[in-house]
Structure 1
Amino acid sequence: MTLAEFFSCSLLAYGAPLMMFAMTVANDPVRIIIMIAAAFGWLLSFLCSSVVWYAVVPLRSYLAFGMTFAIIFQEFFRYGTYRLLRKTEAGLKEISENHDIGTNKLEMAYVSGLGFGTMSGAFALVNVLADSIGPGTLGLQSGSEYFFVTSAAMTLCMILLNTFWSVIFFSGCDEKNYFKITWVVGSHFFVSGLSLLNSRHVYAATIIPSYIVLIVTALTAYKSAGGTFQSFVQTFRRRT
């Protein structure tokens, strides 16, 4: 039972991002490099927030304190990734076998966002998955039987959100549209703040609003990338 739980939660959290990587990133070495660089940027943001958490001893026991600085540093490094890619996109286009890379500037935003989200998801769930193997499971004497599946669902949500957030953030920086940037930062704080409710086992109050934000963010990212309802219908008809 525990092994089935491990694989089901793993596929729930990482199945969709793995398919996104295989279909849109894995066939281009430059995209892989961009994704790895963005993942490294997330690691640096995590390191910086850990240093702040370690330095401020009186507030270590407050989860909200660490979360706040983690989000601030993540968004700072998201902006740093944006600046780096904009300065190097000409060079990346020259060394890439796909010379169309960079034609759509938000293509690299999507790839870097996927790297950001994948690294975030790996750190969020790997210890939980290790515990899910056993011995035993939650829900009998203490804890909630929904803990593992909720953690996997929230990890998937955050991976996808980070991907879409980068598209919106890059678009906002290019257009100097501060509403888009505010939406990214604000929704990041909102969804992360909702995750604090998990300590009270109020999982529905976390998951439902988070996935509503995910849907709105996905539609905004689609529109920011130049998508329209007509193009969506045409693509859907070709695939079906």
Structure 2
Amino acid sequence: MTLFEFSGCALIAFGPPMTMFFLTLADNPIFIIVMISSGFFWLLSLLVSSIIWTIVFPLKEILVFGVICSVIVQEIYRYLFYAILKKAQIGLQKVSDVGNRGHLYSISWSTLSYVSGFGFGIMSGAFSLVNVLADSTGPGTVGLYGDSPYFFISTSLITLALILLHTFWGIIFFDALDKKCRYKIGYVVVSHLAVSALTFFNQQQLYLASLIPCYLITVITASIAYQCAGGTLKSLKESLPFVSG
């Protein structure tokens, strides 16, 4: 039974992202390099957050401080990765042209922002869920001592939302920096803080109170990211024939 729970939760959290990876990134080595690099920057942000949390001793026991610090540092490192990627964009295109042996195609900036956000999301999701998945394999099951039996599945759903959100945040953040749009940068930071704060409900086993707003924010963020990537309602209808006019 624990094996089924482990497999189901892993597929909930990482099934859609892995599908995205194989359909959009796996055939391009440049994208994989960018994805791994962005994941490394997320790890650096985690390291810096941990150092700050350790140094600021009086606030170590205040969970809110740790969350705010982590979110702000992550967004700072998202900006640093943006700056590095912006300088390396031309070089990446040249490497891609050489590696494709005559099959040339342009690496669009919106695509790089998508790959960057995806790398952030995958690394964040892995660190959020790996330990939980390890516990789901046993011994015993959740719920025997008053714990909620929905803990694992709700954690998997939140992890999936965070992976998708990091992907969308990456697109919005890069576009906002290019266009010097401060309110979009503010939206990324505020929505990141909001989603992180919503997870506090899980301590009281109020999983719906965190899941419903979290996925509502995910839908809103996806719409903004779609617009930032150049998508329109017309192009959406053309890509989805079942959407009525």
| TM-score using structure 2 length | 0.94
Deviation readout 1:137-161 (Å, 9 max, x if unpaired)? 1112221101000100000000000
Please list every run of at least 4 consecutive aligned residues from structure 1 whose deviation after the TM superposition is greater than 2 angstroms.
97-102
Matched, 1:53 2:58: no
Aligned to 2:17: 17
Partners in 2 of 1:23 and 1:191 — Cα distance?
27
Partners in 2 of 1:100 and 1:191 — Cα distance?
37
Partners in 2 of 1:197 and 1:237 — Cα distance?
39
The aligned amino acid for 2:105 is D
Look up the SS of the partner of 2:240 in the other structure.
helix
The aligned amino acid for 1:72 is I
User: How much has 1:63 moved relative to structure 2?
Assistant: 1.4
Identify the match of residue 196 of structure 1 among 188, 197, 200: 200
Look up the SS of the partner of 1:42 in the other structure.
helix
Q: Is the 8 A contact 1:101 1:107 kept in 2?
A: no
The aligned amino acid for 2:173 is F
Identify the match of residue 205 of structure 1 among 185, 205, 209: 209
Partners in 2 of 1:43 and 1:162 — Cα distance?
14
User: How much has 1:85 moved relative to structure 2?
Assistant: 0.9
Aligned to 1:125: 129
Identify the match of residue 162 of structure 2 among 153, 158, 162: 158
The aligned amino acid for 1:36 is I
Partners in 2 of 1:68 and 1:108 — Cα distance?
27
User: How much has 1:223 moved relative to structure 2?
Assistant: 0.6
| TM-score using structure 1 length | 0.96
Identify the match of residue 184 of structure 1 among 165, 184, 188: 188
Q: Is the 8 A contact 1:45 1:73 kept in 2?
A: yes
User: How much has 1:196 moved relative to structure 2?
Assistant: 1.2
Partners in 1 of 2:162 and 2:87 — Cα distance?
28
Which is worse superposed, 54-63 or 189-198? 54-63
Stretches of structure 1 that go unaligned for 5 or more consecutive residues are: none
Look up the SS of the partner of 2:27 in the other structure.
coil
Deviation readout 1:123-148 (Å, 9 max, x if unpaired)? 00000000000011111222110100
Matched, 1:224 2:224: no
The aligned amino acid for 1:183 is Y
User: How much has 1:229 moved relative to structure 2?
Assistant: 1.2
Partners in 2 of 1:186 and 1:61 — Cα distance?
23
Q: How large is the Cα RMSD of the aligned pairs?
A: 1.1
User: How much has 1:99 moved relative to structure 2?
Assistant: 4.1
Partners in 2 of 1:194 and 1:99 — Cα distance?
45
Which is worse superposed, 89-98 or 10-19? 89-98
The aligned amino acid for 1:65 is F
The aligned amino acid for 1:136 is G
Partners in 2 of 1:22 and 1:208 — Cα distance?
28
The aligned amino acid for 1:24 is T
Q: Percent identity?
A: 47
The aligned amino acid for 2:213 is P
User: How much has 1:2 moved relative to structure 2?
Assistant: 0.8
Aligned to 1:64: 64
The aligned amino acid for 1:30 is I
The aligned amino acid for 2:68 is T
User: How much has 1:61 moved relative to structure 2?
Assistant: 1.5
Partners in 1 of 2:109 and 2:241 — Cα distance?
26
Matched, 1:173 2:184: no
Matched, 1:2 2:7: no
Look up the SS of the partner of 2:194 in the other structure.
helix
Aligned to 1:87: 87
Matched, 1:215 2:219: yes
The aligned amino acid for 2:114 is Y
